Amino acid sequence: MAITYDLVKEVTANLYDWSLRRIPESSKAEFRKALASETEPQARQTLAFMLDSAERAETTGKFLCSDAGVPSYSIKIGSGARMEGDIRQAIVDGFAELTRTIQPPLLRFVTNPLTNERSFHGKDMPLVSWDLVGEGDYLDITCAPKALGGGRWAAVEILVSPSLDEIERCVLEIVLRAGGQHCPPVVIGVGIGGTFDHAAKLSKDATLRPFGERNPELMVAQMEERLTRAVNQMGFGPMGVGGSTTTFGVHVEYASGHGFTPVAVSFNCWINRRTRARIYNSGVVERIE
Amino acid sequence: MTSPSPTRLTLPLTPKAARALKVGDVVLLDGDAVATVGMPTQKRMVAEVEAGRELPLSLRDGAFFHMGVSYEDSEGQPGAVHYVNPTTSSRFNHLMPTLIRGLRLTATGGKGGLSQDSVDAMRDVGCVYFSFVGGASALLSEGVEAVTDCAWRDLIMQFRLNRLRLGDFGPVIVAIDAHGNSIYERLMTSARERMPEIMRSLRPTENKNETD
């Protein structure tokens, strides 16, 4: 048995479709907590409207947002996975077929950066990252489409032998620059160390972590808690119109590097589109999120 | 703690009705608005306005929103609405003052707000900015009764000028009023002022030691 072209094509297309119509369970839980703790009436009303709308989308199959987002997949490959056929092409073909058949239709948002021409396909589409992990006999696929509102505020700064304090200040300055523009309450992913590209990827991976899970290293977990509190003291609030719920969580990942320390920060908007499934060599598909 | 029930307003507003609104007001919208998310669209609008030409859809004294619209389009005429959702207005900061003044808009909207040049233009002509909740397409779309017209069909659907008939659209928040008040400016100024205190709060123990 093996993980086939056909199965990958079907599963990756479905993951994208599902992500457009339902927010993650851990996001719903954060909304309920925030509704209990947020003191600004306007912010509470906005949070309630968001959660109601998300529930409406889930029960009726409507889209959460008109910007379906650039298709983006993070794939973890167990060393025991056996693949059959062109798996990369399966993702391309699955997305192409989906854009022709999905209801309601998608708007054209895949943009050629050199001409600004928009279509449903383009160079390197869908965006896919591949990581080898452990000895598992599966592909673990997360789909997290990236829309314009959340995507445009990410940034990487390169510091030189910074203190922890300087790293945190750098993160907060990037967060301040974004203000409330990214459809808060957002998830904020922070990647520290490695190289420029590696820090950016860590930051993206950090946004994919469900709320409620802290980094296993105490020092990093404490940083996450400090930064989450600090961001929410800024006061931008839901949709950036005021309140104490600007982020549901700052998630930090790090890698060792050299004396130059990239600090990458990225955001995902409140609908936090993310779906995840595992395809095993046996052909079994396990839906995780 | 309970919020007052929102007022209903019919678009287009008169400048007087726009001036009667205050930052923070929560309203429901009925009536007529034009929506697009296109950068090329708004560049073309600016060119038309600067050349003194009328737009193919009348927008004078009207409501102009940064909002994506998806609808049936099989017969060359707009059909049933699929969904709508706001986009980030601030990316059009450089174009909006010309459009606000040139068209004497009485309402604009989207998400994320507009910069000071637009706030000034809005004060001069009597125009407000409504904040719509992004990502709440499922509920917001229920407030769009029809796409009644569209222009510039050479552009992709969400980039066209799409005229909408709204009914019970929202609730939406007056985030910039016609008196120079902007929630976005106020919150950014306040956040900047709080930053030193927020930074100190990250290291309460160390700071205490430093002052010992």
CATH of the domain at A69: 3.30.1330
Higher-scoring residue by pLDDT: A114, B1: A114
CA pair distance A260, A253, nearest whole angstrom:
16
Both A139 and A227 in one domain: the answer is no
Count CB pairs under 8 A between chains A and B.
158
DSSP state of B60: T
The shortest C-alpha distance from B36 to chain A (Å) reads 12
Nearest in space to A237 (alpha carbons), one of A45, A26, A27: A45
B205 Cβ neighbours under 8 A, 6+ residues apart: none
A240 CB near a chain B CB, below 8 Å?
Answer: yes
Both A166 and A260 in one domain: the answer is yes
Domains defined for chain B, CATH in brackets = 7-181 (3.20.130.10), 184-212 (no CATH)
Helix (H, G, I), strand (E, B), or coil: what is residue A13? helix
* Burial group, residue A32, by CB count within 10 angstroms (0-12, 13-18, 19+): exposed
Partners of A65 on chain B (C-beta within 8 Å) are: 85, 134-135, 137
Q: Name the A residues in 42-61 with CB < 8 Å from any B CB.
A: 42, 44-46, 49-50, 52-54, 56-57, 60
Range(s) of the domain holding residue A252: 148-268
Tokens of A104: 């309601």
Quote ipTM for the complex. 0.95
A50: in domain: no
Q: Which pLDDT tens digit goes with each residue over B160-196?
A: 999 999 999 999 999 999 999 999 999 999 999 999 9
Cβ–Cβ below 8 Å for A179 and B188: yes
Predicted pLDDT at A261:
98
Both A141 and A152 in one domain: the answer is no
A226 CB near a chain B CB, below 8 Å?
Answer: yes
A230 CB near a chain B CB, below 8 Å?
Answer: yes
Both A119 and A257 in one domain: the answer is no
* Among chain A residues, CA nearest to B206: A165
Predicted pLDDT at A142:
98
Q: Which pLDDT tens digit goes with each residue over A205-249?
A: 999 999 999 999 999 999 999 999 999 999 999 999 999 999 999
CA pair distance A182, B68, nearest whole angstrom:
16
Residues of chain A with pLDDT under 50: none
CA pair distance A106, A100, nearest whole angstrom:
9
Partners of A169 on chain B (C-beta within 8 Å) are: 199
B187 Cβ neighbours under 8 A, 6+ residues apart: A179, A180, A235, A236, A237, A240, A241, A242
Q: Which pLDDT tens digit goes with each residue over B34-81?
A: 999 999 999 999 999 999 999 999 999 999 999 999 999 977 789 999
Predicted pLDDT at B206:
55
Find residue B38's DSSP bridge partners: none
Find residue A157's DSSP bridge partners: A263
CA pair distance A44, A239, nearest whole angstrom:
11
Cross-chain CB nearest to B157 (options A44, A107, A235): A107
pTM above threshold 0.90: yes
A130: in domain: yes
CB B90 within 8 A of CB B175: no
Could you give the number of structural domains in chain A? 2
